[in-house]
Structure 1
Amino acid sequence: MKNLIIFSFLLLLSQFGYAQVVEEAWVYFTDKPDVVNSISNPSSILTQRAIDRKQRFGIAIDERDVPVNEAYISNLKLQTGIAVMAKSKWMNAVHVRGTETNVNNLLNLSYVDHIEFAKNKISSGNRVGSSTNKFDVEDTQITFDYGYAANQVEMIALDQLHELDFTGTGLIIAVLDSGFPNVNTLSAFSRLRNNNDLLGGYNFVNRSTNYYDSTLDGHGIAVLSTMAAYIQNNYVGTAPDASYYLFITEDVITETPVEESYWVEAAERADSLGVDVINSSLGYFDFDDSRYDYTPSEMDGKTAFVTRGAAIAAEKGILVVISAGNSGYDLAGTITAPADAENVFSIGAVNADGTRTTFSSVGSSNQPSIKPDVMAQGGIATLVNKNGNVVGGNGTSFSSPIIAGAIACLMQAFPNLSPDLIREKIRESGDNADSPDFLYGYGIPNFFTAFSNLLSTEVFDKSLIRVFPNPAQDFITLVGLHNSTTTSIDLFSITGETIMKYNVDDSEVRIDLSNFSVGLYFLKVKTDFGENTFKIVKH
């Protein structure tokens, strides 16, 4: 009898313990408040910059842009055993924690449409093994000179866009990551601060404005540095003159599904602020609790909550750039969410010589499109860490922002072209574009090729002509002449004397200045669409 009592007691403890397991779930609401009026008065729910971006690309403002009913959220917080962790206007849902019983009891509320538990995943036997370091970042102290930073820029021919003065000016990038410690004090970001290009941020994990604190994880600042850091004569990020919002969505202590909800909430905030580009060097596949794990077949561009959110962000006119992941060692399909979404730009990693790194995650037929999309340097990429040191780092965490910054520069040149067209031309410029695969995607893009190809689009401003480099030493190149049937070029001295005069019918012209004296010259270019005059400095 004693043994039976003990067994019964243990069984009761087991059942009690099971009942107390805290679940992660999304609760979807039936409706939203005042939808018609909100859409009719978009400035009540979106910034003017966000409205302008949507109008520019012909994107409708719809019910998804209307905030969640706060009265519903307040009422949910009063329910027994329920903690509200995050909210999503795009999904019209909130992320909650509670026992399965308490969460299911929410179905009795009239405003709850349905509930989606995060645990409904296939058993962990089909998991791809997780890394002991969730970011797979390795700092390698190096003796830095400009050559190290140049490789990751020149590999994608971004230096040629910089020479044309496309450095991200006027574009806004939102970085969704972990902490950004010391960005507000390090000299590597003084250019950003002095130009008022740090627009703000938010810590969605702690629900605070603490995103600069020195005690925070430094992954976010390392990612940001590849785009935004500037050290005179030593380091230039890919978009040093873009503006930035910094959002913490990653809880580095744990790995739980609520981080997906933080991510989506941050993406919604970015959209409402009129952000042009999102970079996120984060990926979700397996969690601390294996019940929540995804399987390779669920990396299908539509299953993961964060993937669905990223897809909506892209639909809203944001160019979303995501690291492909760092689990490519076994060459299995290891792309993680939200990089599996069809209309986001997923970035793999190559070494300095252009060969794929062994860790770069691999796509598969599970995704609705070729993944990764393109590649950039992620093997010993150059970055600035939280201590202000220039170091090398491994990870698609860095190849992704390198591309995101480059995209901002390209978008600066073509502010009225849709993100879809920008993505298409970048893919077409890749060195593997003729035979894209699951290892390299479309390969390493050439941003100057993409720029040149976009110049010939029908919707491009045909009057825009660029001259680079300027100042020059031996040669200058003119681009942007594609759509003119007749072009004349005159080069004048500072005294007005004509030095050179000829007609051209080519889309790109290279002029030899090697025999000219050092000084100032004027270049007058006449096309069917107007006349441009440039000051040329000869070194």
Structure 2
Amino acid sequence: MKKHYAFLFLLISTVMFSQEEAWVYFNAKPNAQTYLDSPLLMLSQRALDRRTNQNIALNFSDVPLETTYVNQVKASTGITIMAQSKWLNALHIRGTQVNINALKIFAFVDKVVFADKSLNLTGKKAAETKISQTGEKLNTTVNYNYGSSANQIQMLNGHVLHQQNFTGTGKIIAVMDAGFPGVNTAQPFQRLRDNNLILGGYDFVSRNTNFYAGGNHGTMVLSTMGGYKENALVGTAPDASYYLFRTEIDAEENPVEESLWVEAAEKADSLGVDIITTSLGYFADRDNSRYNYTYSDMNGVTTFISRGAEIAFSKGIIVVASAGNEGGQTEKHIGGPADAVSVIAVGAVSAAKSRSSFSSIGPSYDKRIKPDVMAQGETVVISDTSGNIGTSQGTSFSCPIMAGMIACLWQAFPEKTNQEIRNMVMQSSDKYLTPDNNYGYGIPNFGTTLEVDSFVNSDFKVYPNPASTHITFSFLNEINDAVVSVYSVLGQKVLDKKITEQNSVISVESLKSGLYFYIINAGDLHKTGKIIKQ
């Protein structure tokens, strides 16, 4: 009999005293109007400018959490605050089930949501789910010497953007990952350091400013965008600026990582970041299996991280996420935040453009096409923490390769919104008209994005560009004889030809591959531009 009592006591103790992960949501921000009237109290000028440029109004989610609420939760018995989110008006907390449920007595608490979903079935102010709309533990016009990294850029026709001087200058990318050791010392990152392109960062795991610590995954990820070692590795956005945020805990898999990610995204927003790239994903494989998600949760609105990513997009930020590496597992689907509606989820292909067997597939649980696009994820050229150039694989690398190219594209079209840039990427992809849940919309062609946009929005057209054999000059208004002069980058005239409306094609077969400049004179008409010979 005593043994039965002992077992019962042990069972009750486990339930009552084990530490649980949960989110407590508040129902108000009493000082909201003060912040909305003085927005520089909560956002940088660059962040405000990004909102203005995209016609995005400030709202309740921009306002910081009410500190008196936070302090009352912090002072509550047995509660530890692990992270916080102004966007979701919530705290990530740790404590016993009893102590967490005791928070419901506060009038400012809207609801409590346990990471263990089985604990949300009963109790006052139980969790509600409102439906609405991965994890892996020099600015000159030149032809870069990409070396062995050429294929991962040229597959996307990214070199076309680089050749036209769109290398990410002026765009800011926030990298969310497990750590960035060696970025402050290794040679492939020297160019970033010398040009002051590492703007800062934060270690949200250890709560300190030493973001050059933690796991080496973030270092390798950053190298695919910002790395530079001539004839060995050139990143897709070598002249972009970067913030480096550590949100992933190498030693464990815990729901708090999602909350740290959202906290970092909010910081990135406040700093005026343009793009967030994250080679992280959350589904199953949590240390505590009670915290695992299921496929039904991959609807873009259930996971904490996916809701945060969607809010980031609503602030004018482009969010790029790895699709995941579970394509060969029993559960093959993408995780969060790749499942979010507006997140650009990137799958992996080989150097020959075949889908990598490990690349996670779609659709999302609510039947949307996922992944969104593909990039090289096999034999990807990267730098390690010591500056050694090697190769690795995973959607962890196809994701930042894509993010870097998006930065270059947005540099080329700075007036466009994040939604318009996202649309351009999708519409340039080779499966745009016939998407599926293995490849999404396919492999983008960033050269085409330039060509199509300039073609549609100009009364003067030069196409195809890049060109291999010939180029056509087209004018909206009638012209008489015109003269086209083509110059090398050294200023030497290499072609000089008269064109008419009836004969407006010139051959470029005699030119070597590279960048050229053209000048057209036709009476009062004077046009200049760039031509790329493939």
TM-score, L = length of structure 1: 0.86
Number of residue pairs the alignment of both structures matches? 504
Moved more, 417-426 or 313-322: 417-426
* 1:255–1:288 Cα contact (<8 Å) kept: yes
Question: Aligned AA for 1:37?
Answer: T
1:125 maps to none
Match of 1:142 in 2: none
Aligned to 2:168: 168
Q: Percent identity?
A: 46
- 1:429–1:447 CA contact under 8 A, matched in 2: yes
Question: What amino acid sits opposite 1:298 in the alignment?
Answer: D
Residue in 1 aligned with 2:88?
91
Query: Aligned to 1:230, which of 228, 231, 235?
Result: 228
Change (3 A) 1:468 1:515: closer
1:293-308 correspondence runs (5 A) = 293-308=292-307
Deviation at 1:512, TM superposition (A): 2.8
| Distance across 2 between alignment mates of 1:267 and 1:16 | 38
Matched-pair contact (CA < 8 Å) for 1:87–1:261 = yes
Shift of 1:34: 2.2
Cα deviation for residue 485 of structure 1 reads 4.0
Contact 2:465 2:532 in 1 (8 A): no
CA distances 1:95-124 after superposition (whole Å, capped 9, x unpaired): 0000111001111122212111111069xx
Q: Call closer, same or farther: CA 1:492–1:318 in 2, change over 3 Å.
A: closer
User: Any conservation in 2 of the 1:296–1:333 contact (CA below 8 Å)?
Assistant: no
The offset of 1:465, in angstroms, is 8.7
Q: Distance in 1 between matches of 2:251 and 2:496?
A: 66
Corresponding residue of 1:129: none
Change (3 A) 1:357 1:331: farther
Q: Which segment is superposed worse, 218-227 or 366-375?
A: 366-375
TM-score norm. by structure 2 comes to 0.86
Q: How far apart are residue 209 of structure 1 and its match?
A: 0.8
Aligned 8 A contact 1:333 1:364 in 2: no
1:165–1:529 CA distance, 2 compared to 1 (3 A): farther
Shift of 1:450: 1.9
Matched, 1:452 2:446: no
C-alpha distance in 2, partners of 1:337/1:528? 58
Deviates more, 1:146-155 or 1:78-87: 146-155
Residue equivalent to 1:363: 362
Residue 191 of structure 2: aligned partner: 191
> Are 2:485 and 1:491 equivalent residues in the alignment?
yes
Equivalent position of 1:36 in the other structure = 33
Is the alpha carbon distance of 1:239 and 1:463 closer, same or farther for their aligned partners in structure 2, counting shifts above 3 Å? farther
Q: Is the 8 A contact 1:178 1:250 kept in 2?
A: yes
Distance in 2 of aligned mates of 1:531 and 1:243: 36
The whole-number CA distance in structure 2 between the counterparts of 1:504 and 1:169 is 38
The whole-number CA distance in structure 2 between the counterparts of 1:309 and 1:504 is 56
Q: Match for residue 16 of structure 1?
A: 13
Matched to 1:268, the amino acid is: E
Asked if the contact 2:176/2:247 (under 8 Å) is kept, the reply is yes
Question: What is the distance in 2 between the residues matched to 1:53 and 1:527?
Answer: 40
* Deviation by residue 1:188-226 (Cα, 9 ceiling, x = unmatched): 01111111110000011111111113xx21000100000
Matches within 5 A, 1:150-165: 150-165=150-165
In structure 1, the residue matched to 2:211 is 211
Asked if 1:57 is matched to 2:54, the reply is yes
Change (3 A) 1:462 1:238: farther
- CA, structure 1 residues 51+242, in 2 after alignment: closer, same or farther (shift >3 Å)? same
Query: Residues 513-535 of structure 1: CA distance to partner in whole angstroms, max 9, x if unpaired?
Result: 8379xxx9974246999745569
Aligned to 2:260: 262
Partner of 1:407: 406
Query: How many Å separate the matches in 1 of 2:433 and 2:532?
Result: 40
Q: Indicate conservation of the 8 Å contact 2:516/2:532, yes or no.
A: yes
Residue 491 of structure 1 aligns with an amino acid whose one-letter code is S
- AA aligned opposite 1:135: E
Per-residue deviation, residues 254-292 of structure 1 (Å, max 9, x unmatched): 111010000111111111111111100000012111111
Q: Does 1:70 align with 2:67?
A: yes
Q: Tell me, in whole angstroms, the C-alpha distance in 2 between the residues paired with 1:83 and 1:70.
A: 15
| 2:510 maps to amino acid | S
After TM superposition, give the deviation of residue 426 of structure 1 in Å: 1.5
Structure-2 change in CA distance of 1:355 and 1:450 (3 Å): same
Letter in 1 for 2:485: L
Secondary structure, counterpart of 1:250 in structure 2: coil
- Where do residues 131-530 of structure 1 align in structure 2 (5 Å cutoff)? 135=136, 146-213=146-213, 216-286=214-284, 287-330=286-329, 333-364=332-363, 366-367=365-366, 369-458=368-457, 484-485=476-477, 488-491=482-485, 500-503=496-499, 512=508, 514=510, 523-525=518-520
Counterpart code for 1:319: I
For residues 76 and 201 of structure 1, what CA distance do their matches in structure 2 show? Answer: 28
Alpha-carbon offset, residue 59 of structure 1? 1.0
Q: 8 Å contact 1:299–1:336 — kept in the other structure?
A: yes
The 8 Å contact of residues 364 and 370 in structure 2, kept in 1 or not, is answered as no
Matched, 1:116 2:133: no
CA distance in 1, matches of 2:235, 2:265: 23
CA distance change for structure 1 residues 341 and 183 in 2, over 3 Å: closer, same or farther? same
Cα distance in 2 between the residues matched to 1:339 and 1:437: 16
Shift of 1:165: 0.8
Alignment-mate amino acid for residue 276 of structure 1: D
Residues 47 and 83 of structure 1, relative CA distance in 2, 3 Å threshold: same
Higher mean alpha-carbon deviation, 486-495 vs 266-275, is at 486-495
1:420 to partner: Cα distance: 1.4
Local SS of the residue matching 2:423:
helix
Distance 1:483 1:490, change over 3 A: closer
CA distance 1:529–1:10, shift in 2 (3 Å): farther
Question: Structure 1 residues 530 and 106 mapped into 2: Cα distance closer, same or farther (>3 Å)?
Answer: farther
2:101 corresponds to which letter in structure 1? N
Say if 1:323 and 1:400, in contact at 8 Å, map to a contact too.
Answer: yes
Q: 1:368 to 1:69 in 2, by over 3 A?
A: farther
Rounded Cα–Cα distance in structure 2 between residues aligned with 1:346 and 1:528:
50
Structure 2 gap ranges (5+)? 120-133, 138-144
Q: Deviations over 1:231-266 (max 9, x none)?
A: 122211000000000000100111110100001111
